[in-house]
A and B are shown apart, each in its own frame.
Chain A
Amino acid sequence: MSQPTDPAAMPGQTPDITASEEAPQEVEAKIMVASQWKLIWWKFRRHKLAMISGIIVIAIYFVAAFAEFFEVFPPDQYAARYTYAPPQTIHLIDMSDGTPRLAPYVNGYKVTIDSFSLRRTFVVDPEQKIPFRFFAKGFEYKLLGIIPWDRHLIGPVNPEDPFYLLGADALGRDLLSRMIAGGRISMSIGLLGVAISLILGILLGGLSGYYGGAVDNIIQRIIEFLRSLPTIPLWMSLAAALPITWPPLYVYFGITIILSFIGWTGLARVVRGRFLALREEDFVLAARLDGAPQIYLIMRHMVPSFLSHIIASITLAIPGMILSETALSFLGLGLRPPVVSWGVLLQDAQNIRAVSTAPWLLIPGLAVVIAVLSLNFLGDGLRDAADPYGR
């Protein structure tokens, strides 16, 4: 972070940054004129795992944004006949006439009733074929809330047919559709929560780092205090205080605010640390001696040099938010049905009986793990790349 324009500080990076056929001098010249963001991108690109994770994260947010298109059925459409129907396997090639032809289908179900426990069990019936297609006509929706459409990425040719790629829950609702719908809520609560934490974190962390002294002391004590508390019990009691009569949207915002109420401390620490380090830098001193007004000094000179660190910290803070929301909803204190989030879905898997009858109810947990894991890797890569002048 020391001298932002010194190209000599990064000799070791030249080889894999640009195409190898270029002459060394040209490479060096390219690095010298490259902007800070370009350097960050070059460094980030070398981090393969972070690149892959970044693509996964973008894909998840893409699916979340266009959730209705990816859903097969409306997430709250129930079918009592298909209670706990197991997942179906996709067959792409139909071999029944002896010659293979491309006709994607899934097998239907045969229901047998166990004479002992009187429980219905589903057996996959290889005789029955339920053809499905891509860009199938299904329920009508508004894409992004504006464009009316009725096509879906995948769907049965006859919309009345059972089509459960990830199985069904206790009410015969399609788990895949519900998981996609839940992704929108879970992923956005992470973004929104971090946005609120960031505002608090930048404000308080910035005050703390910029002024130092007594202000710093008080804010640091508050942060230490909040960090020494066991968070889940605290979140639980705050969430339990949200009135039951509130509409789902209010609860959504209420939960987000509760999560950010403690989540800001981590970001505040990062911002403070950066401010403290930058305050002593020569270029800040130079700008101050030049008579730059304070707000200009902060916005023009200090913020650009720690923006990349903030972005990395944000990425690392989102998974925590997602995990917390999942935990709260799982306990029944967070979001409540009819709102669907990954935590709400996992609530169905709360007792061992449900899980042993329908182990696929745990699949939303896999979605949580994948989302959190890729956000963590992406954040790690960003953090390493955030300071392109180091080492």
Chain B
Amino acid sequence: MLQYIVRRILLMIPTLFLVSVVSFIIIQLPPGDFLTSYITQLSAMGDLVDESTIQALRDRYGLGQPIYIQYLRWITNMLQGDFGHSMEWDRPVWGLLWERLPLTFVLSFATLLITWIVAFPIGVFSAVKQYSIGDYIATFIGFLGLATPDFLLALVLMWIFFAFFNQSVGGLFSPEFQDAPWSLAKVWDLAKHMVVPIIILGMSGTASLIRIMRANLLDELHKPYVVTARAKGLSEPRLILKYPVRAALNPFVSTVGWYLPALVSGSTIVAVVLNLPITGPLLLRSLMSQDMYLAGSFIFMLSTLTIIGTLLSDILLAWLDPRIRLG
């Protein structure tokens, strides 16, 4: 087990390196370097730009030097916790990231858990009672969930709440808790506000997880060992939960590998619609205003944390299924 964990962590290093390269490319994509636009911005506001400040910034980011040196400068700064400076907010990027990232992942993980909790029984039911009315309903909702873009669902729910209940959904905190320090009441407030985003985000994931669970369990249910157990008179719920469900569980858990990136990805756009204080809206704004250090760092941190999340789920899976450790 330990060997497996070490091997997986070592394999992560090249991946993280690639992520950093991609983020760096994103920072470099807009024409001109960020300092030029920074100076234009400052002069536009009528500020005098101090020549020595510019020189200091130029040195700090290695501008004007070959691209790989700029990259090395950027990555070493980042490893020391200096993510660069956001032009638009005139603040260090790290502070902005820190405000937004934790909630992004709280939301993603909460959705992940709830999706599992909801999809698991429905999937088992769909497989055991194949071609029943319940199965058809689950299948239909599943396909609908897959075909509806989540931002559209967000819009429709928002409109329904507004038009019929005269309530606005959006944000993650009530006004009185906005700047309050963390307390039980604030956590409860957060939980209440997360219900609608979780429904929206979890819709398509739940749909596909139900399909996966159903297909896997159907494969298992027709195997001879199930017939044997049934012939020996094992009670049906016990029989199904004890053997085939356990065998069908692995592919279910391993979906995290693609599901977590999809959730983080989906939360970006849903957050824009629902105006949630997580990374999405800020990323969109930074891209619109070409605040590239902020955008690049967001991409880097989102991808890195997603990869770490996937790693954790892989370790969990290896713990569940010893065969994987050898693979």
Contacts and interface: CB of A to CB of B under 8 A. Distances in A.
A230 B269 contact: no
A349 B261 CA distance: 27
B262 to A, nearest CB: 8
A108 B19 CA distance: 58
A343 B283 CA distance: 19
Interface residues of A, number: 40
Contacts, number: 126
A327 interface: yes
- For chain A, what secondary structure do more than half of its interface residues adopt (helix, strand, loop), or is it mixed? helix
B35 interface: no
- For chain B, what secondary structure do more than half of its interface residues adopt (helix, strand, loop), or is it mixed? helix
Contact of A369 (B30, B151, B152, B284): B152
B314 to A, nearest CB: 11
Contacts of B299: 233-234, 237
B147 A236 contact: no
Interface string B299-327: 10011001100100000000000000000
Which of B18, B284, B287 has its CB near the most chain A CB atoms (within 10 A)?
A: B287
B257 interface: yes
Interface stretch (A55-63, A168-176, A201-209, A329-337): A329-337
Contacts of B303: 228-230, 234
B167 to A, nearest CB: 11
Interface in B266-301: 266, 268-269, 272-273, 279, 283-284, 287-288, 290, 295-296, 298-299
A233 B152 contact: no
A362 B153 CA distance: 10
A355 B310 contact: no
B143 A377 contact: yes
B158 A355 contact: yes
Interface stretch (A24-32, A238-246, A272-280): A238-246
Contact of A225 (B15, B257, B298): B15
Contact of A227 (B143, B168, B258): B258
A319 interface: yes
B172 interface: no
Contact of B268 (A233, A238, A365): A233
B26 to A, nearest CB: 5
A213 B148 CA distance: 40
Interface of B: 14-15, 18-19, 22, 26, 29-31, 143-144, 146-149, 151-152, 155-156, 158-159, 162-163, 168, 257-258, 261-262, 264-266, 268-269, 272-273, 279, 283-284, 287-288, 290, 295-296, 298-299, 302-303, 306-307, 310
Interface of A: 221, 224-225, 227-234, 236-238, 240-241, 243, 319, 323, 326-327, 330-333, 346, 349-350, 352, 355-356, 359, 362, 365, 368-369, 372-373, 376-377
27 contacts: A224-B15, A228-B15, A228-B257, A230-B303, A231-B262, A232-B266, A233-B265, A233-B298, A234-B299, A236-B287, A237-B299, A240-B287, A240-B295, A319-B147, A323-B149, A327-B269, A352-B158, A352-B168, A355-B159, A359-B159, A362-B156, A365-B149, A365-B156, A368-B149, A369-B147, A372-B147, A373-B147
